[in-house]
Homo-oligomer: A and B are copies of this chain.
């Protein structure tokens, strides 16, 4: 008998049949004698539908009102899941983010959790009830409804699990767990049985959508074991925990693809710290997330500076840059447009050049142009044209020997 937090995403609660299926899975845990807290997302499509309704009224809806609007998606799901549990004879009660005491900052649509009071969740669990909590939402100390950013139901689940000192936080999704690459793009991607927090964060922030990087970061901080598995199939899934103890040499965990990126190539900026500072300050003021920054020629920045930004922020970024160029009296954008980032994530990547060599050789063979490269201890990222990105992903996955023909244990040797 333990205390488990289970999170079900939007596709797992998409309609009444899905909700009944989720309820029966929760009942299995409940019947096994576990205390269960369930965190759910909005039904898939609902959040986008609500955003579209607001967008038809104005191009820039107020963030506070957007939170008022978007939070109803999860509120609908908690009620429906609880009703489905009742229908199976499982005592259950629903709680909004506010009722569950998820206290946040007042940065609407991008709030951060300050602390958790838990409301009466512990009492409800002690009374033998399953508690169904709305993910993604919280409440500011002024009583305003806030949301935590897209995909943050994972964060809610980990936060509540940590607050309750749960035995584990189970993330249920539409795939069987974390694979070496997106299984919808790579037919033979290997399911990974184990993963450590740091690697999972790298994979998530490189484009793996299976679990939110921010949630994994919080789990690492509170040493909360996570398990990612399928809400449909019965599978052990992937367990995410503290750094895996035994490995030798480089080990590749997965290949991630992010197609929602853009690059901007800038020319003619003086190699002066003040100019560069102004440039990045302007991007920050425009809320642009700068990804990679590369100098074309290490001796002369004037010859070219490339940056990557999320594609959705490309227009805002270029507008902000033009203002700085005007003020400085120098600099111009000579190229910009969509790109993809392909990342290989693993341990000991920088210390062993074999993976970089394999990667670049494979891309050359596949005739994929490499626009930018960056490396860190745990990741190699190449920026490539969007058109060939999925093909390149499959090619690299295969070249690195990550296919499921090999057992997971053999991956290290293959690559090392």
Contact = CB atoms under 8 A, between A and B. Distances in A.
Contacts of A99: 143
B76 A50 contact: yes
Interface string A275-290: 0000000000000000
A229 interface: no
Interface string A307-338: 00000000000000000000000000000000
Nearest to A71: B75
A120 to B, nearest CB: 9
Interface in A122-165: 143, 145
A175 interface: no
A144 to B, nearest CB: 8
A62 B86 CA distance: 8
Interface stretch (A53-61, A192-200, A399-407): A53-61
Given A72-B72, A99-B143, A79 B56 contact: no
A68 interface: yes
Contacts of A87: 57-58
A86 B54 CA distance: 11
Contacts of A56: 16
Contact of A61 (B50, B58, B61, B86): B86
Nearest to A20: B57
A93 B108 CA distance: 14
A111 interface: no
A349 interface: no
Given A65-B94, A143-B99, A57 B76 contact: no
A79 B69 contact: yes
B80 A69 contact: yes
Contacts of A54: 79-80, 83
Nearest to A134: B68
Interface string A7-19: 0000000001001
Q: Which 8 A-B residue pairs are closest in the complex by CB-CB distance?
A: A69-B79, A72-B72, A58-B87, A68-B79, A16-B56, A61-B83, A57-B84, A65-B79
24 contacts: A50-B76, A53-B76, A53-B80, A54-B79, A54-B80, A57-B80, A58-B84, A61-B83, A61-B86, A62-B82, A64-B93, A65-B82, A65-B86, A66-B79, A68-B75, A68-B78, A68-B79, A69-B75, A71-B75, A72-B72, A72-B75, A72-B76, A75-B75, A99-B143
Given A66-B83, A68-B78, 6 more contacts: A62-B83, A64-B93, A68-B79, A68-B96, A71-B75, A72-B76
